[in-house]
Structures are given as C-alpha cells and as structure tokens.
Structure 1
Amino acid sequence: MTIRALAPLFVGDFEHYRHVLVLPDDRRPGIPASELITCDGLTWLLEQYGRHQPGEDRRALVSQWSRFYFVKLIVPTVAANLVLGHELPVAIDRLEVILSDDGLPEAFRLPHEGKPFARKPEGPFERFEALLEGNLAPMVEGWHHQVRLSRKVLWNNAANYLEWLIGAMAGLGVPTAMLADGKRLVEWERRPDGHRNPMYSPVRYVERERGPSPLRQRRQCCIRYRLPDLALCENCPHIDRPPKGARLPESLIQRC
C-alpha cells in the first residue's frame, strides 16, 4: 500500500513517484538499507546491478547506483516534508529497499506512514534531520568506507537532486514560503554548529559560448563516464573539457 496522506503530491510531473514509498503490507522482497553499506551487502548489490550495467570500476558503479537511490528517496521525502509538513521514517535502520529487475531501487518500504510535524521545525537541519542524519550521512560514510568513493561526489549526487527539486517545485507554483527550508539547505555554507554543510551549493549556472547557456553544472563529477557505454551527464563539470576517453552526451553534441 502507498501512503494515502501523500497522494496529493503525486500528480502531473511527479505522478511516477506515487508508488515509490510503500508500507509493510507490500510483500515484495526487499533488503534493509543498512545492509547496503556492509561489505557483503554491497557486493551482493553490485552483483545484481552488474547484470545490467557492465563495468569493473566499483566506485563508478556505486556512484551511478547512488544517483538512482538518492533521487527516488529525496523527491517524495522532501516534497512531503515541505508541502505537507509530513515527516517520514526514512532512517536506514528503518527502511527497506525494493529492487527492480535491473538492480536499481524501485521502491522503499517504510515501517509506517510517518506523521505531521508536532511543531514547525527550526530551520532546514532540524526539518530534514531524519533524511540527512538518519539516511544520507550513514549511506555516504558507508559507501566511502567500502569503495573509497569521495564523500564530496556522493553528497553532490544527493544535493544535486534536492536543488533541482526545489527549482521544479517553484516552477509548478509551490509558494516560496513552503520552499524556504529547502532553499536554505543548499544555500547555507555552514550548519548552526559551525560544521560544513555537505549539501551546500551543489550546482552552478555557467554562461557558455557554445551550446546551452547558462548551463546548470554540478560541482563534482559523478564519474559515471568510467562505465562502458555511459557518457558524461548533461550537467557534468567536465562538459567543456572532457577527461580522456569520456564522451559527450548525445543531446549536447546535437546542440553544439
């Protein structure tokens, strides 16, 4: 079963997220999210994913897989939080990941449907604590430990989608006040305790002489180009100076 309280969110451009968050009565096989950052769990995951995405570079495989994980989890979780004031139980010790046949995240099984905030959160880090501290931080640390993939790359994979989501929601007419904490999460360089905010400024908008301008460009390359048959992303920081052996995406080649 999907979460009925969130149904108003999943219309139009966001309709395909309607069945991403499910409850315990969904009996499809799943794997605890916490197992995906263990040696055995990650090895198993890459075996499933590797059947459909060839490549020997484990860092690139984890980075590419994480992009699907982050976007699938962040979009409905953040939208529910900002628009409905609804907090979801997404910590990795409470979440199960349901994989599709291609080894990618298809859905997330939550232990319950969450609840509205008892009071208005005081800023973005309190508002998104369950997502940031309960899920993203341990996933980033776990994957970094297992394959030595840069934390900056992983955090940029996540923050890139959050920045995109806030812009997309603004374009759909969501009131600015509702989106304020989402914007602050990518605009504040420091957390209230003075520590660096890993979600800070994930993209920049670059004026270019050729091709689309301004280009929405990530701060960190996701290194997916190290996998067979995958080109650079359209918003890769290396678009104008591709690494040796990397290919431009077809969409940009056609525009240039």
Structure 2
Amino acid sequence: MEVFAELAAVGEYFAVDVGPSDAPPLAELYAGGRELDARIERVCAQLGTDERRVGASIWFQGLAARLWSPVVGAAALGLDVPAIDPATTRWDGGRLQLANPTTGGKPSDVLDHHLEPLVATIKHTTNISAKLLWGNAASALAGTVKVLLTARPNANTEPRDQLLQDERLAGAGHFGEPGAGFRRTTCCLFYRVPNGGLCGDCVLVDRPPR
C-alpha cells in the first residue's frame, strides 16, 4: 500500500514489514506468560542486568516507539493511518510485521488497544509502576515525532500534542523553552544498566546530587 512506502521513505523506524511471520502476535504478549517473560529476559541479558523491572521497562519503551512511529507518522504527514491490530501484528525487536495491512486506524488506538493492556500486564508481573510505563510511552512518542521532524520539518505535531493530553499521558512530561525538547517526569531505569547513564529527557538530568 502507498502509505507504507511513504512511511518507509521517512526512515527505517517508520517502516513496517508486510506478510506472514513466525513470531507470536502482540495480543499474546499483552496477555502475559512465557513469551513475554522470554522477551524481557532477552533484553536483560542484552543489557547485562539481572533486574527484571529494568529489562521490562526498556523492552516496553522499544515496542511503544515502534507502535507510535507508523501510526503517528502517518497522521502527522496527512496520510491514511495504518490499522495496527494486536491479533495480527507481530514484533521481534525490529520492524513491526503486519499480516493484513489495512488503513482506517487512529493514533489513540495505540493507547487503547496496545499500551493499555500491556501496562496492566507488566505492572502485574513486575514491580514497575504504571506511571513509569506511561512515562516511557510519552517519551517514545516525543522521540518519534522528533525523528520525524528531522526528516520532514513540516510534519504536523498536533497528533502528538493531542495524545499527550490523554489522561494516561498527561503529566508524564512537558516541553520546555522553544528548542529545549521534551522532559519527562519519571525515569525509565536505564541508569541502572551497567554503564547506562541517563537519557536526554530523563527527570534526573540536571538534578542536584543528594
């Protein structure tokens, strides 16, 4: 479909793959269980941490970014928005894989059909707060649009701004002075990874030492 070709032209992060995949559908991950545990454990191993909540946080933020990119990217560029169905969409760390590519979606679908159930599941299976996870979602959204604007400076930021007013994301961060970028009100825990440091939008950046 033309929309997917236009998104791929923006950059790798906005591209999706179309066709069958052996990976489990996202809906299976959102339900929790062995497959979700395996994904989190894999990230922990890659990061060199034994803190499951750290691996879960970083994995969640990576998926959120992949979900936002084609959906918000299309809306911001005035394109038909892809419909990302959890039952037929797969993700194994790279591009989203769509078995049945269609349009007719809307940016809020990412919140309602993807992140809402995933936040509930990860909160239940780890000791991560929902507030932290929604902060990750807001950070991923802001980062997605920042990348988009680099490639397409005239992209419309209204879809991002409307999403950030949703009660689940409201208060998760804010934009400072013009050009200052997004600053979140929580931390994704990356600083707990060996040699991880702080992300540029972290609430801990510039905080006086105690």
Shift of 1:168: 5.0
- Corresponding residue for 1:22? 17
Q: Secondary structure at the match of 2:94?
A: strand
Q: 1:238 to 1:53 in 2, by over 3 A?
A: same
| Structure 1 residues 163-220: Cα deviation after superposition (integer angstroms, max 9, x where no partner) | 3434554563325xx432332221x3xx5xxxxx11224333558xxxxx94642111
Within-5 A mapping of 1:174-193 = 174=154, 178-186=156-164, 188=165
Q: 1:50 to 1:221 in 2, by over 3 A?
A: closer
**Aligned equivalent of 2:126, options 140, 147, 158:** 147
Instruction: Identify which of structures 1 and 2 has the higher relative contact order when contacts are C-alpha pairs closer than 8 Å and 6+ apart.
Output: 2
Q: Secondary structure at the match of 1:220?
A: coil
- Distance of 1:169 and 1:42 partners within structure 2: 29
- Distance of 2:97 and 2:52 partners within structure 1: 26
Question: Computing the radius of gyration over CA atoms, which structure comes out larger, 1 or 2?
Answer: 1
- Corresponding residue for 1:230? 196
- Distance of 2:35 and 2:64 partners within structure 1: 18
| Unmatched 5+ stretches in structure 1 | 100-104, 118-126, 192-196, 208-212, 245-256
- Corresponding residue for 1:47? 41
Q: Give the share of equivalent positions with the same residue, in percent.
A: 22
| Structure 1 residues 101-140: Cα deviation after superposition (integer angstroms, max 9, x where no partner) | xxxx1122223221247xxxxxxxxx32321111111111
- 1:165 paired with 2:153, answer no
**Aligned equivalent of 2:51, options 51, 57, 64:** 57
- Distance of 2:35 and 2:186 partners within structure 1: 26
> Does the aligned pair in 2 maintain the 1:203–1:216 contact within 8 Å?
yes
> Does the aligned pair in 1 maintain the 2:14–2:73 contact within 8 Å?
no
Q: Secondary structure at the match of 1:51?
A: helix
> Does the aligned pair in 2 maintain the 1:85–1:116 contact within 8 Å?
no
Q: 1:91 to 1:132 in 2, by over 3 A?
A: farther
Give the TM-score normalised by structure 1.
Answer: 0.69
- Distance of 2:205 and 2:182 partners within structure 1: 11
- Distance of 2:199 and 2:112 partners within structure 1: 28
Q: Secondary structure at the match of 2:96?
A: strand
- Corresponding residue for 1:114? 102
Q: Which amino acid aligns with 2:185?
A: R
- Corresponding residue for 1:210? none
Shift of 1:154: 0.9
**Aligned equivalent of 1:83, options 66, 77, 80:** 77
| Unmatched 5+ stretches in structure 2 | none
Count of aligned positions: 207
Q: 1:18 to 1:184 in 2, by over 3 A?
A: closer
